[in-house]
């Protein structure tokens, strides 16, 4: 293996990244399928219900991204600890424990924020009736936030230890739970009451709780995971590790909130443009977000792979891991963009009945939005992976600034100008999304390219024999 690594380091890194990124990307796509189930069931309740759920999800998504950003700091920390010392049980346990503390504490705070959902919507000028429906939806759906944050930490743990397939299997099972929950609670099947929009929110809370419990069961049952005893001495604080996680995680949270806020802000702009435009935006965004899960998964894998080498102090391997992830991501987004351009109506038909005359106007708009989404697939993928590789070298503060500048000063400002003050309307909002993602991608890619100049990597490369992370991903557990 070492001889192969010396002769073909980039090729071996491509293989290692694919082995890790494949299950993670699949798990992300399956998670989007969980969300898609909600959209599919709610869409049958009518455009008003779909618009209300879209506004509610826009707020929940931003809050959830903020939670995942802080707790997600556990990924580069675990990876670096394994890279420095393969028998790093104590260090990994401390990191996971503090991440779980943050997941619970911040998750409860996020629930409180969601109780002001209706007020936030009214403040932005949304339709009062839609805001009332969305406000009730978000209060019920907020029950999913704490178990969702816990599941995110546990998923990162099993993935960093080289077992990402567990995440894939658990997420696949959560789809079944969500389908059954929506089927029973939205329309009153299986002897349950018909709760409509509230039923969908309750189904989400049940699904995330089941997912978190599934991770706990797997970790306690698997010998490789069990030896870390991550639930042992759970009430024992590790303040230094907690501060380190916050130092890394808060900028990650700011980055994800800035990006999520861009898309959620676009949903609010669409609400001002029109109810049909908002419904079309919801469907088109679900499709674009589904495709985005692959480069997002590659970015997650890149954080872990780069983090291994960062912990080992191997400068050359850091570069190989980063560029391998970017190459894989660019290849995929070109394919997804082509699909959106070639068969947009076929893709949209998976979410709504395109033959129904009542949906005709919405479908036309959704096709236009997908065209813009196809255009920004490349830059969206690049910015996600570039952010991931920079997290691997524990560089999070400047990328957060880049995200705010790109997504908001460039992107959202363009969406407001073109969406509300020109005849482009909804298309103008989507052009703004493309501008924001492109600016962020250029700046993040530039920072990665000149990582040595910015002092983000070790001055001298470490010998390959000292690099624990050069081993195959599966052996790291």
Q: What's the average model confidence in pLDDT over 288-299?
A: 90
Stretch 157-184: mean pLDDT, rounded? Answer: 92
- What pLDDT score was predicted for residue 476? 35
- pLDDT at residue 200 is higher than 60: yes
- Between 408 and 460, whose confidence is greater? 408
Question: What pLDDT is attached to residue 460?
Answer: 60
Mean pLDDT value across the chain = 87
**Is residue 465 over pLDDT 80?**
no
Average pLDDT over residues 194-223: 92
Domain locations in the chain as residue ranges:
12-476
Q: What is the reported pLDDT for 88? A: 80
Contact between 385 and 302 (Cβ < 8 Å) = yes
Residue 268: its pLDDT value, please?
A: 81
Please report, rounded to a whole number, the percentage of residues in the chain having pLDDT higher than 70: 94
pLDDT tens digits, 394-429: 999 999 999 999 999 999 999 999 999 998 998 999
pLDDT digits (tens, 9 = 90+) for 334-383: 999 999 999 999 999 887 888 888 888 888 999 999 999 998 888 999 99
Residues 340 and 371 sit within 8 Å (Cβ to Cβ): yes
Q: What's the CA gap between 305 and 328, in Å, rounded?
A: 14
Local confidence band at 65 (pLDDT 50, 70, 90 cut-offs) = confident
pLDDT band at 76 (very low <50, low <70, confident <90, very high): very high
pLDDT in tens, 131-140: 888 888 889 9
| pLDDT tens by residue, 225-259 | 998 899 988 899 899 999 999 999 999 999 988 88
- CA–CA distances in Å: residue 376 to residues 42, 262, 285: 28, 14, 12
Taking only the tens place, the pLDDT of each residue in 313-326 is 999 999 999 999 99
Residue 289 has pLDDT above 90, yes or no: no
Greater confidence, 403 or 50? 403
């Amino acid at each position: 293996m070492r001889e192969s690594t010396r002769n073909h380091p980039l090729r071996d890194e491509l293989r290692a990244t694919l082995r890790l990124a494949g299950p993670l990307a699949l798990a992300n796509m399956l998670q989007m399928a969980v969300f898609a189930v909600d959209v599919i069931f709610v869409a049958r309740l009518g455009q008003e219900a779909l618009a209300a759920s879209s506004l509610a999800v826009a707020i929940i998504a931003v809050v959830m991204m903020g939670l995942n950003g802080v707790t997600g700091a556990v990924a580069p920390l675990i990876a670096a600890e394994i890279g420095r010392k393969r028998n790093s049980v104590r260090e990994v346990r401390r990191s996971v424990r503090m991440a779980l503390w943050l997941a619970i504490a911040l998750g409860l705070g996020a629930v409180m924020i969601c109780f002001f959902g209706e007020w936030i919507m009214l403040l932005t000028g949304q339709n009062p009736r839609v805001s009332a429906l969305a406000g009730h939806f978000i209060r019920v759906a907020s029950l999913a936030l704490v178990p969702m944050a816990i599941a995110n930490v546990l998923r990162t743990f099993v993935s960093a230890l080289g077992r990402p397939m567990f995440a894939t299997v658990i997420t696949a099972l959560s789809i079944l739970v969500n389908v059954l929950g929506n089927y029973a609670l939205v329309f009153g099947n299986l002897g349950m009451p018909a709760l409509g929009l509230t039923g969908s929110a309750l189904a989400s809370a049940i699904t995330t709780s089941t997912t978190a419990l599934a991770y706990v069961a797997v970790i306690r049952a698997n010998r490789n995971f069990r030896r870390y005893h991550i639930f042992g001495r759970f009430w024992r604080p590790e303040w230094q590790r907690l501060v380190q996680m916050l130092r890394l995680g808060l900028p990650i949270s700011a980055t994800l909130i800035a990006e999520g806020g861009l898309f959620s802000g676009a949903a609010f702009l669409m609400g001002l443009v029109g109810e049909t435009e908002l419904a079309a935006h919801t469907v088109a965004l679900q499709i674009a977000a589904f495709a985005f899960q692959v480069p997002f998964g590659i970015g997650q894998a890149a954080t872990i792979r780069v983090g291994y080498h960062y912990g080992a102090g191997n400068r050359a391997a850091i570069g190989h891991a980063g560029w391998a992830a970017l190459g894989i991501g660019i290849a995929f987004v070109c394919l997804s963009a082509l699909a959106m351009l070639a068969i947009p109506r076929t893709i949209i038909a998976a979410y709504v009945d395109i033959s129904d005359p009542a949906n005709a106007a919405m479908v036309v708009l959704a096709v236009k939005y997908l065209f813009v989404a196809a255009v920004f697939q490349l830059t969206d993928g690049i910015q996600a992976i570039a952010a991931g590789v920079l997290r691997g070298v524990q560089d999070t503060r400047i990328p957060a600034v880049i995200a705010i500048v790109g997504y908001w000063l460039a992107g959202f400002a363009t969406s407001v100008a073109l969406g509300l003050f020109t005849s482009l309307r909804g298309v103008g909002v989507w052009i703004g999304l493309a501008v924001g993602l492109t600016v962020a991608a250029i700046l993040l890619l530039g920072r990665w390219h000149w990582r040595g100049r910015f002092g983000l990597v070790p001055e001298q490369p470490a010998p390959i024999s000292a690099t624990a992370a050069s081993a195959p991903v599966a052996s790291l557990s």
